[in-house]
Amino acid sequence: MKHELAKEVVACLPKGRTLFHYSKDDYAFLLLHMLSKKENRIHKLRGTSAGKLLQKPSVKAHLASCHDGRIDPAVIPRQQHLREGRAYRLSLDIWGDDVQFWRYNQVSRKGVSLVLQLNLNLSHYRNLARCVDLSDHDPFWVVGHPAREGKFPSLGWCRLDFDLESGEALIEEVQTDLLREMRAVARAAYESREAKESRFEMFGGDFDTERLIAFWEEDFSSHEKTWHEAMLSAALTFLVDEIGMKTIFYHTHESGRLLKGIDGTQPPKSLYTTLPKQFCFERTRTVPHLLTSERGWKRKLRSIRQPLEFFRMAV
């Protein structure tokens, strides 16, 4: 998207703390809330990609209270079932340069990405700060990635592109550095314990061995099961509820590699296969209009020399 549009979106949204609560499988209620606005008959939903959502125990319990075989989007418990969930902080940033070096920023078309960041809350940060001194250096922050560092570091982020006229959005990337780096530090902590060392150094940080292991086992490791669900749920909520998008596209592993020019280390395949399928996206050869309307698109397509596939969801 154009840099001017990205700046306008950031400027128009409310300022200050924005919390997002999430616990495992909450995405099922979020999707049913969105998809049942188009089709709320339960027997019809069973025959679509959303049918698997209806088999979840928490969803079955809710369906038992639905009368006449229809789901009322207004009463789907999007918040009531989150009491045991985690609270994250959301923030927005802009990634890329639409003037000269945009091709190096792994964007699918000339311009920038809007970045939605899923950040740790204050209690998470304080627990982490007991393991390592974060006052001068954040050992988990990776230079050149659109993540926050410091007091509320990003657990994950989602890079987005969208077109207001067509109502289309494209999910460019879902990624985490913090969890991957923390996993590596946890392995080093167990090795430090085996060596009977009270402290160890890694990524420029000086870690307390036992505190780090306790933090990993009692708190942080649980993010592995839900961070990707929470991140994509937050992104869909933002795109649909805040921006008003009607059609959401999501890169396949191959379309992302080809259009974003990823030649080196590839992102985890599961984030571009398993995750969109879990969220009821359907595979398609329809290319987003925000890409096909770009100048030089036909030439770019000829250079790729193979059909492109995306994941797609209409809400």
Q: pLDDT tens digits, residue range 82-95?
A: 556 788 999 999 99
The answer to the question of residue 41 being in a domain is no
CB 310 within 8 A of CB 161: no
Of 219 and 160, the one with more pLDDT: 160
Q: Identify the band that residue 78 occupies on the pLDDT scale cut at 50, 70 and 90.
A: low
Percent of the chain having pLDDT more than 90? Answer: 64
What is the model's pLDDT at position 99? 67
Say how many C-beta atoms besides its own lie within 10 A of residue 294's C-beta.
14
CB 189 within 8 A of CB 207: yes
What is the model's pLDDT at position 163? 96
What is the model's pLDDT at position 208? 95
Q: Which residues contact 55 (CB under 8 A, 6 or more apart)?
A: none
Note the pLDDT tens digit of each residue in 25-61. Answer: 899 999 999 999 889 999 999 999 999 999 998 888 8
The answer to the question of residue 77 being in a domain is no
The answer to the question of residue 78 being in a domain is no
The answer to the question of residue 59 being in a domain is no
What is the model's pLDDT at position 63? 84
State residue 116 phi and psi, 5-degree precision: -95, 120
Rg of the chain in Å (alpha carbons): 21
Instruction: Answer yes or no: is pLDDT of 144 > 90.
Output: no
| Interior angle at CA 290, CA 287 and CA 295, nearest 5 | 100
Strands (E), the chain: 19-22, 86-95, 113-119, 154-163, 168-175, 199-202, 205-208, 247-251, 282-284, 310-314
Report the pLDDT averaged over residues 103-117: 92
The answer to the question of residue 145 being in a domain is yes
Instruction: Answer yes or no: is pLDDT of 154 > 70.
Output: yes
- Give the whole-angstrom CA distance, residue 165 versus residue 290: 9
Q: What is the pTM of this model?
A: 0.94
Which tokens in the block code for residue 22? 């999430």
The answer to the question of residue 15 being in a domain is yes
Where b means 16+ CB within 10 Å and e means fewer, 56-93 reads: beebeebeeeeeeeebeeeebebeebbeebbebbbbbb
DSSP 8-state class, residue 262: -
Element containing residue 183 per DSSP (H, E) = helix 178-194
The answer to the question of residue 12 being in a domain is yes
Note the pLDDT tens digit of each residue in 221-257. Answer: 999 999 999 999 999 999 999 999 999 999 999 999 9
Report the pLDDT averaged over residues 283-290: 96
The answer to the question of residue 280 being in a domain is yes
Q: Which residues form the domain of 193?
A: 3-23+85-314
Report the pLDDT averaged over residues 62-70: 84
Where b means 16+ CB within 10 Å and e means fewer, 155-171 reads: bbbbbbbbbeeebbbbb
Q: Identify the band that residue 209 occupies on the pLDDT scale cut at 50, 70 and 90.
A: very high
Q: For the chain, what is the domain count?
A: 1
